Amino acid sequence: MSFQSNAQSSPGDFFELLGRSGYRWQTRVDPQTQNDFAVTQGTTVLAFHFKDGVIVAGDRRATAGNSIMYEHCDKVIPIDDYSLMAIAGVPATAFEMARILTHNFEFFRRSQMQSMSGEGKIRTLSKLLKENVGMAIQGLGAVSPIFATYDLQSKKPAIHFYDMLGADFQIRTHTATGSGSPTIRGILEHEDLWGEKPLAERSESNAVTLAVRLLQTAAQFDSATGKARPDDEIFPTVAIITEEGYRFMDDKELTDICKTSLRR
């Protein structure tokens, strides 16, 4: 990834600063070597609106080909006090994007004496994904993220889904990405249309229970999605975003939730 300096850019343009500092992101790989190794991949993540905000969740498994590489991968990443990015795809690329976003938002806040708008945050991630197209089409840096935030200006939570080329889509109800996402999207659509309540009217407790069950169900049909295993202290990552910012469920909360919500 290469960021070009632009004399007309804003004083709060973090990408200009990166370009002037000589930052480069590898966008090409020697074709003779790109098939010599299996790239670690992370799946599955989801997000949906509930009564008080947005819930974001993901399983913890990372795979490379047919091998399970890691069972404690964090796929829901804090970006600032009100924003989270959930990743499916290559964790190394996604983590680097998350670092750039975090520094970008903080640089803007300090240089402009105000937080970046929700629209600005959404466009920044889109720009990063567009710069990453070279690695994505080679299959070595593909990332398909979900970005969730609480917009302090509009005072509303927002969810955006991105494809690997950087196109973003605002999500009014629910979304999921990764290898286990087809199962999750189908269940969420059913729950929103014909469940006891639409998703946007459900309580935090109900939303968390549903998210945990969705990931467990996806794991039944997709080997790349890891199951919750409370006895081994392996839990999904579950976070909520409200007007007060984001909050992750801790292990004690998740232990209690898994014991009750996953009971047959």
Place of tokens 């984001």: 246
Catalytic residue among 43, 44, 63, 93: 43
Span 40-261 CATH architecture: 4-Layer Sandwich (3.60)
Q: Supply 212's token pair.
A: 């945990």
Cβ proximity of 176 and 221 under 8 Å: no
Q: Give the pLDDT confidence score for residue 30 in this predicted structure.
A: 54
User: Cα–Cα distances in Å, from 147 out to 79, 113, 162, 262?
Assistant: 9, 24, 8, 27
Cβ proximity of 45 and 56 under 8 Å: yes
User: Where is average pLDDT lowest: 27-36, 93-102, 184-193, 198-207?
Assistant: 27-36
Q: Give the pLDDT confidence score for residue 4 in this predicted structure.
A: 46
Percent of the chain with pLDDT over 90: 66
Q: For the chain, what is the mean pLDDT?
A: 87
User: Where is average pLDDT lowest: 40-49, 181-190, 241-250?
Assistant: 40-49
Q: What beta strand segments (E) does 81-171 contain? A: 83-86, 146-151, 156-162, 168-171
Each residue of 71-81: pLDDT tens digit? 999 999 999 99
- Sequence-distant (6+) residues with CB within 8 A of 128 are 1, 97, 100, 101, 166
Domains of the chain, by residue range, sit at 40-261
Q: Give the pLDDT confidence score for residue 144 in this predicted structure.
A: 87
Q: Is residue 43 flagged as an active site residue? A: yes
Cα 2 vs. chain centroid, distance in angstroms? Answer: 23
User: Where is average pLDDT lowest: 7-21, 94-108, 142-156, 205-219?
Assistant: 7-21
Q: Which of the 8 DSSP states describes residue 35?
A: T
Cα 101 vs. chain centroid, distance in angstroms? Answer: 13
On the question of pLDDT at 194 being above 90, the answer is yes
Backbone phi, then psi, for 197, in 5-degree steps? Answer: -145, 155
Each residue of 200-214: pLDDT tens digit? 999 999 999 999 999
Cβ proximity of 69 and 161 under 8 Å: no
Each residue of 227-242: pLDDT tens digit? 999 999 999 999 999 9
On the question of pLDDT at 29 being above 80, the answer is no
Q: Give the pLDDT confidence score for residue 92 in this predicted structure.
A: 84
Each residue of 33-58: pLDDT tens digit? 445 556 777 689 999 999 999 999 99
Most confident stretch, 14-28, 127-141, 217-231? 217-231
